[in-house]
Amino acid sequence: MMSALVLKGVTMGPLLLINQPQFLSATFASMFVSNIIMVFAAIVIAKIFVQILKIPYSVLGPTIIMMATIGAYATKNTSVDVILMAISGLIGFIFVTCKFNSSAMILGLVLGIICESNLRRAYTIADGATLMEATVNIVTRPMTGIILLICLVVLLNPVIKQLLDKKKQGTA
């Protein structure tokens, strides 16, 4: 939708409300109408998905794998993507069999790219400082320190709980 507005000569940004309010109100109105239409479309599509879920897994599983393989190949027309998909599936299978949280792996894969690009940006902003100086500068900022401390607590929480439980069982 934004690209259509840019083609119409609308300048996106904070001054849109002041310079061209008619486009902003039209945008909000179209989003409101499209959300209402999507509710009804979702109700219809939900009924179709219920029918799809009635298909036995012996038919549905290979179909999903076939579609995923076609989709992986179709992105860049290389077999490397299909191999990468198969390796990712194998890693996911290992995660499930070892009873790891697969949602954490998916979240890490999605957010890892964003975190890496922002870390690279932070080092670029460090402006000529050595890697150690830039790292210390980044870590000692209050907000970053708080976030890293929360991450450390979340990571160490299961280990500390397990140690405390063993200690309680040993004394009891």
Mean pLDDT taken over the chain = 85
Q: Would residue 69 count as lying in a domain?
A: no
Q: Would residue 17 count as lying in a domain?
A: yes
Domain with 146 in it: 141-172
Q: Would residue 76 count as lying in a domain?
A: no
Q: Would residue 152 count as lying in a domain?
A: yes
Q: Would residue 28 count as lying in a domain?
A: yes
Q: Would residue 146 count as lying in a domain?
A: yes
Of the segments 10-19, 84-93, 122-131, which one has the largest average pLDDT value?
84-93
Which H helix or E strand runs over 144? helix 142-171
Final residue before a domain boundary, out of 54, 75, 98: 54
**Residue 135: what pLDDT?**
80
Final residue before a domain boundary, out of 34, 54, 74: 54
Residues in contact with 73: Cβ distance below 8 Å, sequence separation at least 6, in sequence order: 79, 81, 82
Q: Would residue 84 count as lying in a domain?
A: no
Final residue before a domain boundary, out of 38, 54, 70: 54
**Residue 83: what pLDDT?**
94
pLDDT in tens, 40-86: 999 989 988 888 888 898 998 999 999 999 999 998 999 999 999 99
The gap between the terminal CA atoms of the chain, to the nearest Å, is 65
DSSP state at residue 103: H
Q: Would residue 40 count as lying in a domain?
A: yes
Exposed (0-12), middle (13-18) or buried (19+): which is 115, by Cβ within 10 Å?
exposed
How many structural domains comprise the chain?
2
